Amino acid sequence: MLTYILLAADTDPTIMIGGILPRLGSGYRVGKGDVIALEADEYYNSFHSFFPTVAVILNIDTDHLDFFRDLDDLKSSFRKFASLVPEEGHIVCNGDDENTMQALAPLGRELLTFGHGFGARVRGINVCASGRNPTMSILYDGKPFCDIRLMIPGAQNLKNALAATAAAIALGIPAEAIVQGLNTYTGVGRRFDFKGTLNGADIYDDYAHHPSEIRALLDAVESLGYRRVIVAFQPHTYSRTRALFPDFVTELSRPDMTFLAQIYAARESNDLSISSDTLADAVPGAKCCASLRELTEELAAVAMQGDIILTVGAGDITNVGDALVARR
């Protein structure tokens, strides 16, 4: 979103993000302007290698417990990241997220908060989060700033829009460019990414691999009016699956049909006695598939007019959506 805003403002930015933007045809852009916007990750404290003028913290949630000791350790890491911002810089953060605010409080720094709560400096009001084109009005320091209408669904994307707006304000970008950027943003690869149809069912791919991300995805989809929501989920790493097992069960119990692929090991070996079969046993009606080929066959067999099929996870499950569309 910030990329689209920066382009609308003619800043000629350099961009480095973790997904493919259709407008760029890639995840990066080399510009000649004086703004570099990049997406950073907390894993292994890798974001401590950057020294941002504007740091944007969307939220802090329990994750990467193969590296961090616990939530307090995560908060400490984000606090270190924010401390790298110089005094003349800006710390942009989610004022609605308790973990974030607790993590940053010891810094004693002025924060540029965004959110829907009364205390947020960049605040969304008159929110309509249902349907494919959510809308809201934005206040800045209590005064009307702009109105936006997104081209992608979900309350989480309204929150992302507030974060991008706050970052843009920190950079001195006018409201007109912010509105133009947000209103023309069409999404990024592997984020509710439409792949095509099969037997009348719409097929989308999404990178969600944490329970809170799955919750946000399902919240958005449930407002779109599909007859059935069918989810094929590939857990990402054994440690995350085990650490967040109850939350995964809660979210994966929501769809009308749930299929599970085998755990995507990524950097890990399975020494935790956890499997997708274990997860499937805990989710009512869920079915675990031995391979992506089998998963593709199962999904193709149930796809019907009025369904939405979501392939979900950070691993190679993205290939299943392509395989389904190729059957047309």
Q: 269 pLDDT band (50/70/90 cuts)?
A: confident
Judge whether residue 16 has pLDDT over 80. yes
Is the pLDDT at 265 greater than 90, yes or no?
yes
What DSSP string runs through 156-223? HHHHHHHHHHHHHHHTT--HHHHHHHHHH----TTSSEEEEEETTEEEEEE---SHHHHHHHHHHHTT
* Spatial separation of the C-alpha atoms in residues 36 and 32, rounded to whole Å: 10
What per-residue confidence (pLDDT) applies to 298? 98
Cα 328 to Cα 105, 203, 312, 316, 323, distances in angstroms: 54, 12, 21, 21, 10
Measured distance CA(244)–CA(43) in Å, rounded: 17
pLDDT at 270: 81
Instruction: Say if residue 66 is in the same domain as residue 116.
Output: yes
Domain count, the chain: 2
pLDDT tens string 172-208? 999 999 999 999 999 999 999 999 999 999 999 999 9
Same domain, 37 and 93: yes
Q: State what percent of residues in the chain have pLDDT above 90.
A: 97
Query: What is the Cα gyration radius of the chain?
Result: 20
Rounded Cα–Cα distance for residues 272 and 280 (Å): 17
- At 272, the pLDDT band (50, 70, 90 cuts) reads confident
Domain boundary, last residue among 150, 165, 184: 184
- Please tell me whether the overall predicted TM-score, pTM, comes out greater than 0.85 for this model: yes
pLDDT averaged over every residue in the chain: 97
Read off the CATH number of the domain in which 150 is found.
3.40.1190.10
Residue 61 has pLDDT above 80, yes or no: yes
Residues 225, 301 within the same domain? yes
Q: Of 165, 184, 203, at which residue does a domain stop?
A: 184
Q: What is the mean pLDDT of residues 75-79?
A: 98
Do 114 and 31 lie in one domain? The reply is yes
Domain co-membership, 48 together with 136 = yes
- State yes or no: pLDDT of 158 exceeds 80: yes
Residues 61 and 161 both lie in one domain = yes
Of 184, 213, 231, the one marking the end of a domain is 184
Q: Closest Cα partner for 252 from 204, 211, 224, 219?
A: 211
Q: Specify the 3-state DSSP secondary structure of 130.
A: coil
pLDDT tens digits for range 18-42: 999 999 999 999 999 999 999 999 9
Give the phi and the psi of residue 270 in degrees, each rounded to 5: -85, 90
**Above 90 in pLDDT, residue 257?**
yes
267: domain range?
193-325
Do 161 and 33 lie in one domain? The reply is yes
* pLDDT at residue 309, as a whole number: 98
- Using the predicted structure, report yes or no on whether residue 271 has a pLDDT greater than 80: no
**Co-location of 83 and 24 in the same domain:** yes
pLDDT tops 90 at residue 267: no
Check residue 263 and report its DSSP letter.
P
**Of 299, 213, 284, the residue nearest 254 (C-alpha):** 284
Query: Quick one: 123 and 211 in the same domain?
Result: no
Same domain, 148 and 175: yes
